[in-house]
Amino acid sequence: GESVGLHLPTLSVQEGDNSIINCAYSNSASDYFIWYKQESGKGPQFIIDIRSNMDKRQGQRVTVLLNKTVKHLSLQIAATQPGDSAVYFCAELRMNRDDKIIFGKGTRLHILP
Amino acid sequence: NAGVTQTPKFRVLKTGQSMTLLCAQDMNHEYMYWYRQDPGMGLRLIHYSVGEGTTAKGEVPDGYNVSRLKKQNFLLGLESAAPSQTSVYFCASSRWRSTDTQYFGPGTRLTVL
């Protein structure tokens, strides 16, 4: 997600509902994408990745969708739980170039009881 | 395995002071990275290393130096700290290249007065 000034965009979701977190990536040449989860006071943690030759990939309770036409990535979390509260970052890189990952600014997911 | 550890967890410096942040990983990873995280800015790569004895500049290298004398350790140095270096610093490692999962440390919160 894109940041607004110094504040992260926040998504509030009822516990048990599905969450969809969006990310607009910057480089049309990027061919590998990753979602990270960062809980308060901790370092980022890998969730799921996807290569540009795919448009969908599923993990446990998570699905990543890739739309290369509009340079858009989304993370869907099924049956959101309190432990899903965190900041979620998308990241992009070009696998055969300089290997430097570019991180998005993050979206805060807030779970409502 | 402890994974990736960082020392110290918190530090307050005065402008002009120097310090070294230590990152250690016990996963025998080749690649190591230093990032800084600022509000609304996401993670930005400072320096990285593709193996023992190697270092390379990332996106925001100015004001920092690094060394990788041992495979398991990656040191980040600030020779003359400035208030603009107030940030949370994360170290990460990956088995080989950036497309391998990056494992992050818990972070170091640095304040420069």
pLDDT of residue A28: 85
| pLDDT tens digit sequence for B77-111 | 999 999 999 999 999 999 987 678 899 999 999 99
| pLDDT tens digit sequence for B32-71 | 999 999 987 789 999 999 999 999 999 899 999 999 999 9
Rounded to the nearest 10°, the torsion over CA B55, B96, B28, B43 is 60
Radius of gyration, CA atoms only, chain B:
13
B40:A93 CB<8 A:
no
- Residue in B40, B41, B104 nearest the CB of A44: B104
- Residue in A32, A43, A103 nearest the CB of B107: A43
Question: Residue A29 pLDDT > 80, yes or no?
Answer: yes
B44:A43 CB<8 A:
no
pLDDT of residue B40: 74
